[in-house]
Amino acid sequence: MREDDPLLSVSDLRMHFPVREGLLLRTARFNRAVDGVSFDIAPGETLGLVGESGCGKSTLGRCIARLYRPTAGNVTFAGTDITHLRGRALMPYRRDIQMIFQDPMESLNARHTVGDILEEPLIVQKVGTRAERAARVRDLLDIVGLPARSASRYPFEFSGGQRQRIGIARAIALNPRLVICDEPVSALDVSIQSQILNLLVDLQREFGLAYLFIAHDLAVVKHISDRIAIMYLGRIVETADSEDVYAHPEHPYTQSLISAIPIPDPHRRAERIVLAGDVPSPIDPPSGCAFHPRCPRVMDTCKRVRPALAQSDQGHEVACHLGAEEPGS
Ligand code: SF4
């Protein structure tokens, strides 16, 4: 891996789940949860991935962490194509790529003590002696701001924010290089959300972590992301630097998400763009631009031709027939 190579490169990634129907449970159709996604993440960078529930963002995260085997496309990590690795060959990448989940209570084994939970990844990866692992558990608790005595307690004895700290401690136990944060603050009170976001920022500074930060709310990713990718029905529709996305959203879907962010100034009123209908089913996506049934600026072409992600005048990557230049033009 050269110095300027991305840490993670995702290329035309697809995850299509078979839908079994009828008495014989034959596969006649597919749920196209992820349908041709490409992006890079540099070492130490945070990419915010935002979209409504059901748009495929969590499935994409799980494909990258290789909890799923993608249907097609490639996941390249630190120069190695890991898309089809299995078993032992995948072990080093299980150390390097970790996940933090939305609901720590579901992801933490309720019958194990916090000490056991934090030691488990070290045992699986055969790291250290028993004494060294115990010392590492104490270190991890200290890093995430929990007292050492937490090691002998059980997850149910902690608050939601403290449980997420335990989930974060487990995720960094093996010194990963990329952490996929799947809605890590969505289930928490607003006051606790900022504490957890600050902790993630501190850990990134200290350990040089790269993050794929998945959220359904653009306001949450604003301060943590270097770049933001907006996802709609299994595809990325806009990518740009974080500030640019908020200041000059180009895709009509991004514009509607931005318009939903409350403005903390009582003298200013933003015009809210309310979209008609719900996200369509990824089993039977609309023709042409998948956003066309809800788009306030839809044209005839949009119903027939699917727009490719292309560089815009403002330097965003946008999949829309309005104003985007064709690749190579
Ligand atoms: Fe709207 Fe057409 Fe752009 Fe799709 S391609 S977002 S339908 S204007």
pLDDT score for 301: 95
Give dist(CA 250, CA 299) in Å, integer: 16
The response to whether residue 273 sits with its C-beta less than 6 Å from ligand 1 reads: no
Mean pLDDT across the stretch 292-296?
A: 95
DSSP secondary structure, 145-165, as one string: T--GGGGGS-GGGS-HHHHHH
- Give all domains of the chain, ordered by start, each with its CATH number: 8-251 (3.40.50.300)
| Cα four-point dihedral sign 25, 28, 32, 36 | positive
The response to whether residue 298 sits with its C-beta less than 6 Å from ligand 1 reads: yes
The response to whether residue 292 sits with its C-beta less than 6 Å from ligand 1 reads: yes
pLDDT score for 104: 77
Q: Quick check: 309 and 236 in contact, CB under 8 A?
A: yes
Mean pLDDT across the stretch 116-130?
A: 95
The response to whether residue 320 sits with its C-beta less than 6 Å from ligand 1 reads: yes
Closest atom of ligand 1 to 296 CA is 1
CB burial of residue 293 (10 Å; 0-12, 13-18, 19+): middle
Whether the model pTM is above 0.85 = yes
Phi first, then psi: give them for residue 307, nearest 5 degrees.
Answer: -75, 135
pLDDT score for 269: 63
DSSP secondary structure, 239-268, as one string: EEEHHHHHHS--SHHHHHHHHTSPPS-TT-
pLDDT score for 325: 44
The response to whether residue 295 sits with its C-beta less than 6 Å from ligand 1 reads: yes
Give dist(CA 234, CA 31) in Å, integer: 10
Q: Quick check: 100 and 178 in contact, CB under 8 A?
A: no
Q: Name the average pLDDT for the chain.
A: 92
What is the Å distance from ligand 1's center to 322 Cα? 7
Closest atom of ligand 1 to 253 CA is 6
Q: Which residue has the tokens 């097609």?
A: 72
- pLDDT above 80: residue 326: no
- pLDDT above 50: residue 82: yes
The response to whether residue 291 sits with its C-beta less than 6 Å from ligand 1 reads: yes
Q: Can you read off the two tokens belonging to residue 73?
A: 């496309």
pLDDT band with cut points at 50, 70 and 90 for residue 176: very high
Q: Which residues, including other chains, have CB under 8 Å from residue 6's CB and lie 6 or more apart?
A: 40, 41, 42
Q: Quick check: 76 and 8 in contact, CB under 8 A?
A: yes
Give dist(CA 318, CA 296) in Å, integer: 17
- pLDDT above 50: residue 328: no
pLDDT score for 18: 92
* Residue having the nearest C-alpha atom to atom 5 of ligand 1: 320
- pLDDT above 60: residue 273: yes
Q: pLDDT digit string (tens) for 142-154?
A: 999 999 999 999 9
Give dist(CA 171, CA 181) in Å, integer: 10
* Residue having the nearest C-alpha atom to atom 3 of ligand 1: 320
